[in-house]
Amino acid sequence: MTKFVRFIRVAAFGVALLAAPSIGLAEQTEVDPAQVSQVLKAIFTHGNATQSTKERLNANTTTVITGTIGGTYVQIGADLASVLDDGEKLRVLPIVGRGSVQSIADILYLKGVDIGIIRSDTLDYLEKKGYASNIKNQLTYITKLYNEEMHVVAPKSIQKLSDLEGKTVAVDLPNGGTFITAITVFERLGIKPKFVYIEQRLAYEKLRKGEIDAMVAVQGVPSKFTTTIKDDRFHLVPIEYAAPLQADYLPSQLKAEDYPTLIPTGQRIDTIAVPAILAAYNWDRGTERYRKVERFVQAFFDKFTELQKPPFHPKWKEVVLSAPLAGWKRFPAAQAWLDQHANTAGSETRRQFNQFMAARASSQPETPVAPTPEQNAALFAQFLEWQKDSSAKPEHPRVSARRHKSHRKKLAKVRHCDDQPIQTDAFGLKHAEATPAKQAGCANRDDDTAAADPSQPAGER
């Protein structure tokens, strides 16, 4: 009996010794959520959330409607959240969208949507087709983002866009920007395929099985989904920068380094591009919804340079915050930030533009005089293209200048008026020599690099 009692005591003591380190370890590894995150502090420390806590969390959350899965917009939204989130002061909540058309409707009508990424040609299409009027006065833009390229994936037997006449082509869902751009391009070029409206993942399966002849995606390079296509039966179809497209679209190229399975090594494919826009509703100043967007703008512009570094999407390198957008009114808080930081923010853009001008001058030593403001505006379009190429692969200014000299030759096809001869000025810019009578009947080119029209009516307040 005595031995049994001793055994029990020894066993109990041993259990206590084994348990002691475990207790100590638990105490050492226990973490207070409030020390990890202000958000966790709000959730856990204020478990019984007061009304003020709820209001604060909602007031500091800004929602951004993006795009469909696999597209560039979703990645841009994720980048914004990664860089701008800072706990209780600002939370960016990206929302997977259904395309540019739906995003416009969401910004205008859906409760809780503050900001959205849309495409510039979508609003023009809606207005020209009579689906909406005065819609630009209900929206404002925070900044022009980047250009999105048109990708047409098809069997290698399709050598040019006109080969798709009468063929079945998938143009994404009818509430998306790809749908708008695709049908606009085909319509202006006089090509009449049979359109089907399915999203790109399903479209690719049908293309792979031979049920459709091509699929279109208008997304920023590199298009995440397009990079996953590794079937050697398919390639990217070139799109000529034809005159009917030049009023609303920009020339661009797709490179083999971005799509090695769809473009032969060392080659490039001509295509067109359209600007993407970060837009918001035209809220009255002083309202809570205005203040939410204002807080977002402050954080976004302050931290913008962080977005232009890895590991974020390379398209951020194309963004110039101060770039104008013809026919649009900028969100007042965004314009105020740009005005306040004109010396610092503008100096970097000016330095880059001056570098571009110096590269042009080295290839055109015969240029006798400085360009006019109007010529500078036209040159800015070339500068954006040069900036994109330079950020992708640094090169000597003379090499860049030679390439852009070739690029300007391609642009010589541009005609602002069908019946007017194109003249070349001392700066290599192409323009029409129009008489006053011809000017009255000739529509101005309304591209994304033009200065804002001061006669444009102000947004509704």
State how far the Cα of 400 lies from the Cα of 409, in Å rounded to an integer: 14
Is residue 96 within 8 Å of 69, Cβ to Cβ?
yes
Q: Are residues 121 and 163 both part of a single domain?
A: no
Q: Are residues 136 and 156 both part of a single domain?
A: no
Q: Are residues 294 and 233 both part of a single domain?
A: no
Q: Which of 224, 257, 274 corresponds to the end of one domain?
A: 274
Give the CATH number of the domain where residue 330 resides: 3.40.190.10
Helices marked H in 209-282:
none
Strand pairing class (168-170; 250-255)? unpaired
Query: If you ran DSSP here, which 8-state letter would residue 330 be given?
Result: B
State how far the Cα of 456 lies from the Cα of 202, in Å rounded to an integer: 42
pLDDT of residue 354: 66
Residue 326: pLDDT band with limits 50, 70, 90: confident
pLDDT of residue 173: 86
Q: Are residues 289 and 303 both part of a single domain?
A: yes
State how far the Cα of 276 lies from the Cα of 319, in Å rounded to an integer: 10
Q: How many helices (H) and strands (E) does the chain have?
A: 16, 12
Coil vs helix vs strand at 224: coil
Q: Are residues 115 and 217 both part of a single domain?
A: no
Helices marked H in 30-144:
33-36, 38-40, 51-59, 72-84, 100-109, 120-128
Q: Are residues 142 and 283 both part of a single domain?
A: yes
Q: In this predicted model, what pLDDT tens digit does every residue of 226-278 receive, in sequence order?
A: 999 999 999 999 999 999 998 889 999 999 999 999 999 999 999 999 999 99
Q: Are residues 111 and 217 both part of a single domain?
A: no
Q: Pick the more confident residue, 92 or 381.
A: 92
Is residue 63 within 8 Å of 81, Cβ to Cβ?
no
Q: Are residues 234 and 90 both part of a single domain?
A: no
Q: Are residues 136 and 221 both part of a single domain?
A: no
Residue 88 lies in a domain: yes
Residue 460 lies in a domain: no
State how far the Cα of 215 lies from the Cα of 408, in Å rounded to an integer: 30
Q: Are residues 284 and 238 both part of a single domain?
A: no
Q: In this predicted model, what pLDDT tens digit does every residue of 264-320 receive, in sequence order?
A: 999 999 999 999 999 999 999 999 999 999 999 999 999 999 999 999 998 899 899
Instruction: Show the domain range for 223.
Output: 147-274
H-helix or E-strand containing 255?
A: strand 250-255
Total number of domains in the chain: 4
Q: Are residues 154 and 263 both part of a single domain?
A: yes
Q: Are residues 154 and 249 both part of a single domain?
A: yes
Residue 452 lies in a domain: no
